[in-house]
């Protein structure tokens, strides 16, 4: 079960996906809302927080969640505030009931991770790609359009046609034609 605890929040935040199951995980804590209260409406405890990248809209609530739930956070680079453990490209991590592969996907941000489970048919795409062929901005510090295109193409090589759901860092999750949405994003990102 995946719940976006930031749904309906009228503040500058990312989506914040609570994934229940064998290992209860929050993928990105979001920012500028009472994430602890939102989590407590669904769970009493958390096993881990995964950070896709350290932009403020994705990690603003990280310290509050770690303090409230006594939980560690995993991300690409432990030199960033709040990241306790590093996940390298190709590492696997349990989210809910499924194993996910961490994919290092820079371009929007140098430390950006996506998480993909072939068995679950799910991709947590963060700010790499969005619904309807949109893609992450590259005008922020550390952003690079060419690198973003390479990362999108890599994700296309990794996911298969059975990708059922793509949870994005902003906007709605994609629940049909997810691969097609990624292909559209790759085409759009290649345009200069």
Domains and CATH numbers, the chain: 1-86 (3.60.15.10), 98-192 (3.60.15.10)
Secondary structure (DSSP) of 115-136: EEETTTTEEEEETSB-GGG-B-
Question: Span 112-122, mean pLDDT?
Answer: 97
- pLDDT tens, residue by residue, 140-152: 999 999 999 999 9
Cα dihedral sign, 43-17-48-122: positive
SS3 3: strand
Q: What is the pLDDT of residues 149-169, one digit of tens each?
A: 999 999 999 997 889 999 999
Q: State the chain's mean pLDDT as an integer.
A: 96
Of the candidates 128, 126, 130, 144, the residue with the CA atom closest to the CA atom of residue 192 = 144
- Does the model's pTM come out above 0.75? yes
Statement: residue 16 has pLDDT above 90: yes
pLDDT band at 192 (very low <50, low <70, confident <90, very high): low
- pLDDT one-digit tens code per residue, 25-69: 999 999 999 999 999 999 999 999 999 999 999 999 999 999 999
List, for residues 76-98, the tens digit of each pLDDT value. 999 999 999 999 999 999 999 99
Helical packing angle, 145-158 and 178-190, nearest 10°: 150
Q: What is the pLDDT of residue 162?
A: 80
């Amino acid at each position: 079960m995946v719940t976006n605890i930031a749904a309906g929040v009228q503040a500058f935040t990312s989506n914040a996906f609570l994934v229940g199951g064998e290992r209860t995980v929050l993928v990105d804590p979001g920012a500028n809302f009472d994430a602890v209260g939102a989590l407590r409406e669904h769970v009493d405890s958390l096993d881990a927080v995964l950070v896709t990248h350290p932009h403020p809209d994705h990690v603003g609530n990280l310290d509050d969640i770690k303090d409230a739930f006594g939980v560690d956070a995993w991300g690409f680079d432990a030199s960033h505030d709040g990241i306790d453990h590093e996940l390298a490209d190709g590492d696997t991590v349990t989210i809910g009931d499924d194993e996910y592969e961490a994919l290092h996907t820079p371009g929007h941000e140098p430390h950006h991770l996506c998480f993909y489970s072939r068995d679950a048919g799910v991709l947590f795409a963060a700010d790499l790609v969005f619904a309807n062929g949109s893609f992450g901005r590259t005008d922020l510090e550390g952003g690079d359009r060419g690198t973003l295109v390479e990362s999108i193409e890599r994700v296309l090589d990794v996911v298969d046609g059975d990708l059922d759901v793509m949870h994005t860092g902003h906007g709605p999750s994609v629940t049909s034609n997810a691969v097609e949405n990624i292909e559209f994003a790759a085409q759009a990102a290649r345009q200069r």
